[in-house]
Structure 1
């Protein structure tokens, strides 16, 4: 891997982490995408927000159509409630159900344990190099990818 390009290393790490995430969440009957939606929704609710599907899509970085599909499947599973906004019926608001709250906590715990393990070379989740790694990744994510 000494001669691997940064792009190839990011691709390898992304695939490796996604596989690890899927394995960690499988015993909880959740996919990585479902986890992202549930955990993000949980965090937004804790901050006092009852997001629309669009707001949740923007927050997670997932496509709005994909969030809509995920929300419908999670609603069918009894984990999410979808309701039309009272002021704009085109807007669909999302909320965790009691079952959703019960499902998301162990998932967040499992992911925290996994991330701490995956970040061991940097000192774990709270390691001194982890914050610098996060800042580096964030700076790479804001670089425009479209035509100049």
Structure 2
């Protein structure tokens, strides 16, 4: 561990790693006309479509961890760029379904290759993408992602009323 991070809290390290990753992905996919958030949306949509799904914006928000309102905004900008199609769900007229266009699939495939290269760089210190350390690291991250977080846990009722 670098001396700079010896006394850092796990929360700070998670935040710094996520910021490092987001910045790197932003820079890597910018030549393709995407941001990190747009990449997250299109890559998730790409995987879901390959599995035979045509998800709603809400389902895609759940999959990506992005707020539904933000997914709606991203979807509109990606639609304007010709990368996705937004259509009403015939089973639920309130829901909007998303699908990548042919151009969207091509752009997303290119972006996935670029991001895969970044991932290999990131994981090299752990022995690479398929190493036992990386598998253990991924399992630990999944455990943390599955743990519920309540921002108000540990705050007294009187403090909750004041906020």
Q: Same fold (TM over 0.5)?
A: yes
Normalised TM-score (structure 2):
0.87
Aligned match of 1:28 in 32, 52, 55? 32
Aligned to 1:85: 89
Aligned to 2:141: 137
Q: Distance in 2 between matches of 1:41 and 1:47?
A: 10
**Larger relative CO (CA 8 A, sep 6+): 1 or 2?**
1
Q: Distance in 1 between matches of 2:50 and 2:123?
A: 26
Structure 1 runs not aligned, ≥5 long: none
Shift of 1:77: 0.4
Q: Distance in 1 between matches of 2:9 and 2:54?
A: 42
Aligned length: 148
Structure 2 runs not aligned, ≥5 long: 154-163
Shift of 1:123: 1.2
Q: After TM superposition, which residue ranges in structure 1, 4 or more long, deviate above 2 angstroms? A: none
Normalised TM-score (structure 1):
0.96
RMSD: 1.0
Which structure is larger by alpha-carbon Rg, 1 or 2? 2
Q: Secondary structure at the match of 2:87?
A: strand
Matched, 1:110 2:86: no
Aligned match of 2:68 in 64, 83, 86? 64
Shift of 1:7: 1.4
